[in-house]
Structure 1
């Protein structure tokens, strides 16, 4: 039985210039047929016992853009979820959303079908930067949709922000933080831009046409982010995530705690019964597999004990709670310092991690140099 369920909607009305997730342009795609295949895949998972009798703790609908679906398609999606997924254990039901697609009607549909947490892709409150990112909403759209979501009864709202963007200045970042924090939300996520292969930004960078701020400016932006969140009473519970108590993302914490989750949809990933798997990404291959009556798994890998311990460290250390000694020994039957004593001592001497009688955690310096820390635990 898995603790979480991720459902992937790969359709977008506009392809953002930085995005490397599995997605396709909405127009002329078999959207309804895809939703039906998704429903069949969920039924296959149920029949295999992946949800157990009581279902997962969390459901997260991501993309792509789930709110690219029209009202009827959203209703169809939720009908499939209700048919296949038990919800007796469910404590968090989230969906991603774009500000200019999350209409009042769609908010009602989400609410009536059990969604209680919204993750809204805002990225910036600077109109010029939004255009540069390939986003189609305006700063005003983001502020408007938060008001509408609250009017509809949504309390658990998060927005995503990005920094280190092409041409972005510290002044623009400060202004985005001002407008974001003025919304008084219980949760914020903020990520530095990573230029991934097969994106428009990657092609521009290779042509020397992507004026990035540089590592020093990016570090200052991250530092300012941490300061502003703390000043507003938002706790940094993971490197890129901030929340008031009780509003942390339960679903994302499953990933960082290295717990099991099912992934459904084209290109979705899952981790169940010690096996990490990924589905076919191309819609045709995904749908053909489902229509032939088989799970659309493209590849899978049985995680070894050594790999599982590595994942426990580099995922767990992303959280400010760190990796607890008792959790590690309970899960693996070995003391943490017996397995990683040398690495922990080296990183402690470098001032990148700290330990007490309960856990190993990143220091403030380690938060800025997280990738260097994580690399230490990879065999």
Structure 2
């Protein structure tokens, strides 16, 4: 079950493992063999599902972004997209059946930028979640992503009235020059105004995203952004290392990673981590920090990929215990536009189109990976209860390697696997080491588009 390692001392920033297997390991199902959702959800637990609605529109596309999103929405495209989302929601709810209660424990609207939609369209989006899927948005944690330009008072009012408990805003930097360097045109004054509107809306949780590793960024300017964010006393902060990926704006500019940039990002990460810890925040994962008195908000990092995930929209993923599925994936804007157009014209959403079967070995890897990348680590008993074995039996070479690098916390005791401070810092190297050979091969063979 173990896999061979590509290097004895991995570089710290290889891949942000926000889902496993990654979409580049997905493949189209054959036309005659597309899995019927009603069959694949039969027998699955449905009492604590997660619901994710994906809106693939932004007002601009940042230079580092490789998310499934397009700029703008001409010719009533948002209306057509919501129509398709409605059809998909109806089909998926039918596939879940009524043999047992269907209950959603958490919901999220992401993208793209969900608040690209107008206030009226956001109201309709909530209706799709509630009236089509049966989610009670006012009774469960509801997280919504927004941006400085689209966090307007009318949109925020709709979201709060419909039950939003968490608003996450991508600021990235409070330094205007750094924002421009990341191809994210915004002014600090506009960011501060948006944050004021979010605070006025009185959602329980404000999350601010910041990025480190931007060209020209120094410890002084990084601290400036951190302190500017802390001035708003956000309940959560996410600190993301900058990545330059193929087909993105920065990727086309020819920027590449090197050892000096690795060292800079690692240095800024530690600076940011220590600064937030000293200001009353707790580390949840490499990226996520929560204020110690913040209210709980349901699933955290990596928990979104547990079994029982329903994703609606052409960029969303869904997970059963044995199948991960979505729609086609692309980064290039022209390809994305084509996928969105195909999605909006789709009438039959009863079968999975693109995805990957998940066998027992992959399920073990996912469980270990998504648990180990959290600061609290993984209880060995939970793994043993699910799989009947100790994780060391399944991943002896991987865990031995992590230990030799000082990535495991030896003080955690025999009943818990937990990363050390260095292990958390190297999460983006550790995660890929747990990819199976088959997933790694399919990711490598994927043709970027």
TM-score, length basis structure 2 = 0.78
Task: Find the aligned partners of 1:64 and 1:296 in 2 and give their Cα distance.
Answer: 24
Q: Counterpart in 2 of 1:62?
A: 110
- Is this contact kept in 2: 1:238–1:318, CA < 8 A? yes
Offset of residue 212 of structure 1: 10
- Is this contact kept in 2: 1:169–1:213, CA < 8 A? no
Matched, 1:357 2:404: no
Q: Secondary structure at the match of 1:95?
A: strand
Q: Counterpart in 1 of 2:430?
A: 373
Matched, 1:17 2:63: yes
Q: Secondary structure at the match of 2:207?
A: strand
- Is this contact kept in 2: 1:166–1:211, CA < 8 A? no
Task: Find the aligned partners of 2:104 and 2:320 in 1 and give their Cα distance.
Answer: 12
Offset of residue 257 of structure 1: 6.9
Tell me which of the two structures has the higher relative contact order, counting C-alpha pairs closer than 8 angstroms and 6 or more residues apart: 2
Q: Secondary structure at the match of 1:7?
A: strand
Q: Deviations over 1:68-100 (max 9, x none)?
A: 111222222222222112235952101100112
Task: Find the aligned partners of 1:213 and 1:159 in 2 and give their Cα distance.
Answer: 27
**Structure 2 unmatched ranges of 5 or more:** 1-45, 330-338, 437-449
- Is this contact kept in 2: 1:121–1:160, CA < 8 A? yes
Q: Counterpart in 2 of 1:178?
A: 227
* Alpha-carbon spacing, 1:320–1:84, altered in 2? closer, same or farther (3 Å): same
How many residue pairs are counted as aligned between the two chains?
A: 375
Matched, 1:274 2:322: yes
* Alpha-carbon spacing, 1:193–1:254, altered in 2? closer, same or farther (3 Å): closer
Offset of residue 15 of structure 1: 1.5
Q: Secondary structure at the match of 1:101?
A: coil
Alignment of 1:1-379 (within 5 A): 1=46, 3-29=49-75, 30-49=77-96, 53-87=101-135, 90-205=139-254, 214-245=261-292, 246-247=294-295, 250-253=298-301, 255=303, 258-280=306-328, 282-289=339-346, 291=347, 293-295=348-350, 297-354=352-409, 355-379=412-436
Higher mean displacement: 137-146 or 14-23? 137-146
- Is this contact kept in 1: 2:83–2:344, CA < 8 A? no
- Is this contact kept in 1: 2:151–2:197, CA < 8 A? no
* Alpha-carbon spacing, 1:50–1:353, altered in 2? closer, same or farther (3 Å): farther
Offset of residue 211 of structure 1: 11
**Structure 1 unmatched ranges of 5 or more:** none
Task: Find the aligned partners of 1:351 and 1:126 in 2 and give their Cα distance.
Answer: 35
Offset of residue 372 of structure 1: 3.7
- Is this contact kept in 1: 2:57–2:113, CA < 8 A? yes
Offset of residue 275 of structure 1: 0.7
Q: Secondary structure at the match of 1:17?
A: coil
Offset of residue 374 of structure 1: 2.9
- Is this contact kept in 2: 1:242–1:248, CA < 8 A? no
- Is this contact kept in 2: 1:322–1:359, CA < 8 A? yes
Q: Secondary structure at the match of 1:214?
A: helix
* Alpha-carbon spacing, 1:163–1:372, altered in 2? closer, same or farther (3 Å): closer
CA RMSD of aligned residues (A): 2.4
- Is this contact kept in 2: 1:3–1:254, CA < 8 A? no
Q: Which has the higher strand share?
A: 1
Q: Deviations over 1:298-340 (max 9, x none)?
A: 3122201101111112221110111210110111122223222
